[in-house]
């Protein structure tokens, strides 16, 4: 996508499906690409940093920010993101993009207004679902495969222990104080999508209706936040 538009010769359903997948695959100083290592040996510093990150994430309940998304083909798009943990997220893309992503009720729901298509994906079918957990523990059913640091920044890459082939999630934090600034999802097809956050606002409450996408094909009223 570029400027909210798909880069495809024809706007057919298969093209739309491909672009929707890149949303989840859905910056500060960008660190060198991480090569996941299943045999990572954690140092004492690693364990201390992971404990700080766990505490930060589990204390993070609501967030609103501008986002910039870089798709696997390098195309960019932006919009407003809302995060309401556990289990809820909304990515509202700037016009003229026809896309909307809503997470809630254990599903990621994609809506393409241009194609009038709605696609559902279980939260646990993508690495991004880890970020929406009620309580994220960076051990057990989650395996940390890499930690990288540069001055003022730390990034952690993780996979689901039982299904590492489903893809990885890399979270990038500003350090001292710790603050989430970016994530990268690499999906099962090795497609990489980066999302960077800007003008981040923490706290507050959001209308629960923002995280329940009503299929416009079934209900003409549609999503009241997506006109």
| Contact criterion met (CB below 8 Å) for 100 and 110 | yes
**What's the rounded Cα separation, in Å, for the pair 60 and 183?**
15
133: DSSP letter: -
Instruction: Give the whole-number percent of the chain exceeding pLDDT 90.
Output: 60
pLDDT band of residue 30 (cuts 50, 70, 90) is very low
Q: Is 21 left (phi over 0), alpha (psi -120 to 50) or beta?
A: alpha
Taking only the tens place, the pLDDT of each residue in 150-185 is: 999 999 999 999 999 889 999 999 998 999 999 999
Could you state, in order of their start, the residue ranges of all structural domains in the chain? Answer: 13-26+35-204
Which pLDDT score is estimated for 213? 73
| Contact criterion met (CB below 8 Å) for 89 and 83 | yes
Q: Most distant CA pair in the chain: distance in Å?
A: 56
CATH entry, 13-26+35-204, from 3.90.1280.10, 2.60.40.420, 3.30.56.10, 2.50.20.10: 2.50.20.10
Looking at the whole model, is its pTM more than 0.95? no
Q: What residues contact residue 139 under an 8 Å CB cut-off, 6+ apart?
A: none
């Amino acid at each position: 996508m570029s400027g909210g538009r798909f880069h495809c010769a024809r706007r057919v359903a298969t093209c739309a499906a491909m672009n929707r997948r890149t949303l989840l695959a859905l910056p500060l100083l960008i660190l060198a690409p991480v090569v996941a290592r299943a045999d990572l040996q954690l140092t004492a510093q690693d364990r201390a940093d992971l404990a700080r990150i766990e505490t930060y994430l589990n204390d993070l309940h609501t967030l609103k920010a501008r986002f910039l998304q870089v798709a696997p083909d390098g195309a960019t798009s932006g919009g407003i993101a809302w995060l309401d943990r556990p289990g809820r997220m909304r990515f509202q893309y700037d016009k003229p993009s026809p896309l909307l992503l809503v997470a809630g009720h254990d599903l990621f729901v994609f809506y393409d207004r241009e194609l009038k298509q709605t696609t559902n994906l279980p939260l646990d079918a993508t690495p991004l679902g880890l970020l929406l957990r009620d309580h994220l523990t960076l051990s057990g059913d989650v395996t940390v495969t890499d930690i990288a640091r540069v001055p003022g920044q730390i990034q952690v890459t993780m996979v689901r222990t039982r299904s590492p082939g489903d893809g990885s999630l890399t979270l990038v934090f500003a350090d001292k104080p710790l603050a989430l600034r970016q994530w990268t999802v690499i999906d099962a097809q090795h497609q990489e999508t980066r999302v960077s956050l800007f003008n981040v606002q923490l706290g507050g409450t959001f209308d629960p209706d923002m995280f329940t996408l009503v299929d416009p094909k079934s209900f003409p009223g549609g999503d009241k936040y997506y006109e």
